[in-house]
Chain A
């Protein structure tokens, strides 16, 4: 058994178990309606979580994504309000901005040799600040294109609705999986997480890869901002505060090692679904309060971190018994 699949298996097991518990109490939860809502409600989180998975696998972290979503929403709504442009060119400009923004952070991390944590912290402040500069108030979006997208869905068997944004999230996950496992860039991301120095010795273009990783995260944060604006029909600079933490939690619960080098995009999808499931359970239950979400997520985080620590320790010990040199 390949030990790197173990956290992923644990994630899947927890998800199935959690769903079984939910089903036992509320049989209504096993319906495509609930599943459709699960996808729609967590679409924006899922999309940034894909970017966050790449960042974390490479051994970094991106604290800016929540702010970038807020910035994107405000940017789109202000542009639509003030310029009369069609949303599509606005989306294109926005994605260009957020991608360049991510690339700039990646370049700073690589060339100034500073921790990703502090660089993306600056990015978080900057993006949120720029959102405020554009507008402090919530700006509603009323464009026919938006209404069209919002009313578009695919009716699943059992009357569940897979909305456009829910579907988009699935597309992003599939694309993420292909990039992670079927491209050289994907392998390079894992290589960086295994050790920057070794990766460099093995010929990985470290600078290019680092910049591309954060650019990708920036692009997906922009895309998530678009999705969030479709979801809420508004742009608000105070929106999605702390969503980066949810994304990091989803990635870790999805079985990705927070110290980098190991993880799966598919696991992150399940991580996002587990977090969504907890919320749905609390809503179905009615007596439980929303803060249990945070506590349960915290406990899952702890469990996964300790599990992975144990795995690392175990494989390390196995190998140390073979080694044991000076």
Chain B
């Protein structure tokens, strides 16, 4: 089987699910796929899904890498709020766009570094370590905005939320480029394999000479970086930093996107592309509910149902049960292999 075929097979369940959701929406709303161009920018529901899904998609990129190492990052929503606050503060203090963006991204990297050090050097469980920043992060963001929603009018910063590039909304460009770039980096270098190796068997990986500490820090820093981008977009979108609500509960959506993308919470094999499709599935469901006139809050019930289905499908207990039925075949194969030369 060639690499491409294997890749397509890997993302097939996510693609099919996305297609199914989109088809369902378009059956109910025949005009769903209408896309128009106005003022050099594409408009239409599908574009809207890509656009609205940008923060979760960005968070899902970092979260995928973290989960692949058998970790979890609960702090990304709070980090989004911090970075959004930093960018709004920077621009209102009169810094130029470059410095503002740099400060926001550095804030995200520092947050990631903090998490990474707690996890890899102090050996604190990821869920516990990142909880600290999840709780304190919004307080820090409010400290920066001084409790108010810090608004700004700088057109350059707003461009990141509502501008467009090559007819695509800027957030879409950012998440697609970031997604492709990070995918390219982890797959063109050996990082992807080393991350998977550490997630599957930390001890054996260390014994094989892998520098697992540095690797763990790197994934949390990446997660902080992605959260920073998402925070900048979210702030630019509403032209202000809302420390209370920016990125609220998005860490859970990001985790959900990764889980829908088929990466196990127990670490190991991961697919960034599948996680991104997962993020789009979540957003498509959101948009579908919005279009259908239900209150958006119904989302939560649907998300709960999605998690339940995934729980059942991914459950180790169920897998053992299925392996019981598959077992005879497997042992046959094993036997054949030891016999044949």
Give chain A's interface residues, CB within 8 Å of chain B.
Answer: 61, 108, 111-115, 117-119, 121-126, 128-130, 132-133, 136, 237, 241, 245, 248-249, 258-259, 289-299, 301-302, 305-306, 309
Q: A113-B317, A118-B307 are in contact. Are A292 and B297 (CB under 8 A)?
A: no
A291 to B243 alpha-carbon distance, docked (Å): 10
Residues of B within 8 A of A126 (CB): 300-301, 304
* In the A-B complex, the 6 residue pairs with the closest CB atoms: A298-B136, A294-B139, A129-B300, A291-B142, A129-B301, A132-B297
Q: Once bound together, how far apart are the Cα atoms of A294 and B139, in whole Å?
A: 5
Docked pose: A187 CA to B220 CA in angstroms: 37
Q: A122-B311, A245-B135, A289-B146 are in contact. Are A115 and B265 (CB under 8 A)?
A: yes
Whether A129 contacts B312 by the Cβ 8 Å rule is no
Known contacts A132-B295, A132-B297, A306-B122: A125-B304 contact under CB 8 Å: yes
How many Å from the CB of B330 to the closest CB on chain A? 21
Flag if B128 contacts A258 (CB, 8 Å). Answer: yes
Contact in complex: B132, A305 (CB < 8 Å):
yes
The docked-state distance in angstroms from the alpha carbon of A136 to that of B138 is: 26
Residues of chain B within 8 A (CB-CB) of A245 are 131, 134-135
Assess the A305–B128 pair: CB atoms within 8 A: yes
Cβ-defined contact, A291 with B147, below 8 A: yes
* Interface residue SS majority, chain B: helix
Whether A119 lies near B311 (C-beta < 8 A) is yes
With both chains docked as a complex, state the minimum distance between the C-beta of A286 and any C-beta of chain B, in angstroms.
14
The residue in A108, A128, A241 that gathers the most chain B C-beta atoms within 10 A of its C-beta is A128
Q: How far is A302 from B122 in the complex, measured between Cα atoms in Å?
A: 12
- Chain B residue numbers with a CB within 8 Å of A128 are 297, 300
Q: Is there contact, CB below 8 Å, between A294 and B124?
A: no
Cβ-closest chain A residue relative to B146? A289
B301 touches A289 (CB 8 A): no
How long is the Cα–Cα vector from A114 to B318 in the complex, in angstroms? 10
- From B72, B135, B252, B317, A112 is in contact (CB under 8 Å) with B317
Q: Are A294 and B135 in contact (CB under 8 A)?
A: yes
B298 sits at the interface (CB 8 A): yes
Chain A nearest CB from B246 CB (Å) reads: 14
Residues of B within 8 A of A130 (CB): 301
User: Are A133 and B301 within 8 A (Cβ)?
Assistant: yes
Q: Give B104-129 as 1s and 0s: 1 = Cβ < 8 Å from A's Cβ atoms.
A: 00000000000000000011110111
A106 to B181, CA, bound (A): 41
Q: Are B140 and A295 in contact (CB under 8 A)?
A: yes
Cβ of A124: which chain B residues have Cβ within 8 Å of it? 252
A contacts with B: majority SS? helix
Once A121-B252, A249-B135 are accepted as A-B contacts, the answer to whether A112 and B311 lie under 8 Å apart by CB is yes
Chain B residues whose CB sits within 8 angstroms of the CB of A301 once the complex forms:
131-132, 135-136
B308 — which chain A residues lie within 8 A by C-beta? 108, 122
For chain B, the count of residues having a C-beta within 8 Å of the partner chain is 47
Pairs across A and B, CB under 8 Å, 11 listed: A111-B317, A114-B315, A114-B316, A128-B297, A258-B125, A292-B143, A294-B139, A294-B142, A296-B139, A301-B132, A302-B136
Of residues A119, A125, A129, A305, which shows the largest number of chain B Cβ atoms within 10 Å of its Cβ? A125
Q: Give the distance in Å from the alpha carbon of A296 to the alpha carbon of B147 in the complex.
A: 16
Q: How far is the CA of A261 from the CA of B257 in the complex (A)?
A: 32
In the complex the two chains form, what is the Cα distance from A136 to B127 in whole Å? 32
Residues of A within 8 A of B135 (CB): 245, 249, 294, 297-298, 301
Q: Is B259 at the interface (CB under 8 A from chain A)?
A: yes
A248-B131, A294-B135 in contact; A132/B316 too (CB < 8 A)? Answer: no
State the Cβ distance, A69 to closest chain B Cβ, in Å: 15
Closest residue of chain B to A67, judged by CB?
A: B300
What is the CA–CA distance of A245 and B77 in the complex, to the nearest angstrom? 14
Instruction: Assess A129 versus B297: contact at CB under 8 Å? Given A112-B317, A113-B315, A114-B315.
Output: yes
Question: Does B205 belong to the interface (CB within 8 Å)?
Answer: no
Cα–Cα, bound, A66→B314 (Å): 27
Q: 14 other contacts beyond A113-B317, A133-B297, A298-B137, with CB at 8 A cut-off? A: A112-B312, A113-B316, A114-B315, A125-B303, A126-B304, A129-B297, A136-B297, A289-B142, A294-B140, A295-B140, A296-B139, A297-B135, A305-B128, A309-B124
Chain A CB within 8 A of B92 CB: no
B56 within 8 A of A: no
Q: Complex Cα distance A156/B257, Å?
A: 53
| Interchain CB contact under 8 A, B307 and A295 | no
B280 within 8 A of A: no
B45 contacts across to A, CB distance below 8 A? none
Most chain B CB within a 10 A radius of its CB, from A108, A118, A292: A118
**Nearest CB of chain A from residue B251's CB, rounded to whole Å:** 10
**How far is it, in angstroms, between the C-alpha of A133 and the C-alpha of B255 when the chains are bound?**
25
Partner of B298, one of A117, A132, A291: A132
User: Chain B residues near A108 (CB, 8 Å)?
Assistant: 308, 311
| Interfacial chain B residues near A295, Cβ < 8 Å | 136, 139-140, 143
Q: Is B133 an interface residue (CB 8 A)?
A: yes
Give chain B interface residues in 240-276, CB to chain A under 8 Å: 243, 248, 252, 255, 259, 265
Q: Give the distance in Å from the alpha carbon of A258 to the alpha carbon of B129 in the complex.
A: 10
Q: Which of B131, B135, B136, B140 has most chain A Cβ within 10 Å?
A: B135
User: Could you tell me the distance in whole angstroms from the C-beta of B171 to the nearest C-beta in chain A?
Assistant: 25
Q: Which residues of A contact B127 (CB under 8 A)?
A: 61, 117
For residue B151, CB closer than 8 A to chain A, the reply is no
Cβ B297 vs Cβ A237 within 8 A: yes
- Cα A128 to Cα B125 with chains together (Å): 28
Query: Which residues of A lie under 8 Å from residue B125 when comparing CB positions?
Result: 258-259
> A129, B265: Cβ atoms under 8 Å?
no
Asked if A118 contacts B259 (CB within 8 A), the reply is yes
Q: B191-211 toward A: CB 8 Å interface, digit per residue (1/0)?
A: 000000000000000000000
**Distance of A249 Cα from B265 Cα, bound (Å):** 24
**CA A289 – CA B295 in complex, angstroms?**
34
Closest partner residue, chain B, to A122 (CB atom): B307
| Structural contact, A291 and B139, CB atoms closer than 8 A | yes
Residues of A within 8 A of B138 (CB): 291, 294
- A126–B304 Cα distance when bound, in Å, is 5
User: Which single member of A125, A248, A249 contacts B307 (CB below 8 Å)?
Assistant: A125
